[in-house]
Amino acid sequence: MCLGDYNEVIFSNEKRGGERAQWQMNNFRDAVDECRLRDISYEGYEFTFDNGQSGEDNRQSRIDRAMATDDWFDLFPYGRLFHLDREWSDHALLKVVFDRRIREEGGRRRKFRFEHVWVGRKGVKLRLKRLGSEMMVMYSQQMRVVLGIFRSGKG
């Protein structure tokens, strides 16, 4: 999962007021696609940035976002992003809920809970360690791609 202020929008409808060069949005979208990231669904006001100006000088955009890979969505199928109110900043706070509900019989949902007793089972520690290593390798590979795109002058 990658979360933060990207200072860029993916589509022109994610910005209100002012102009944005199409090539900049295209380059950002290409980097996101190259890393195989997609937006985590959000709740709240659509724009995460507001420059605080009024009238025609006001600029709002969705430059803060959380994106993840398909693997993340497989682990957290009910994960959500919340755009919280801007109280003391020109950016909204982002809150990610790592909800991992699984279905019980009868269709009822319950939250996933890690049971410490699992750690004592043979091979569990090793599997968790490998999963963590794989996630870090995948993240570092994605970041190298993004940095390469921006260093090449295409970003």
Neighbours of 94 (CB within 10 A): 19
* Least reliable range by pLDDT among 17-26, 37-46, 116-125: 116-125
For the chain, the average pLDDT equals 79
Range of the domain at 128: 2-151
pLDDT, mean of residues 24-45: 91
Q: How many domains does the chain have?
A: 1
pLDDT confidence band for 74 (50 / 70 / 90): confident
- 35 has a pLDDT exceeding 60: yes
pLDDT at 98: 81
HEC letters along 102-154 = EECHHHCEECCCCCHHHHHCCCHHHHHHHHHHHHHHHHHHHHHHHHHHHHCCC
pLDDT, mean of residues 46-68: 92
Name the percent of the chain in helix, strand, coil, to the closest 5: 40, 20, 40
- 46 has a pLDDT exceeding 90: yes
Strands 38-39 and 64-68: antiparallel
Sheet bearing 42-43, strands edge to edge: 42-43, 80-83, 94-97
pLDDT confidence band for 77 (50 / 70 / 90): confident
| Residue 94 three-state SS | strand
* Burial class, 49, CB count within 10 angstroms (exposed 0-12 / middle 13-18 / buried 19+): buried
d(CA 12, CA 19): 9
pLDDT confidence band for 71 (50 / 70 / 90): confident
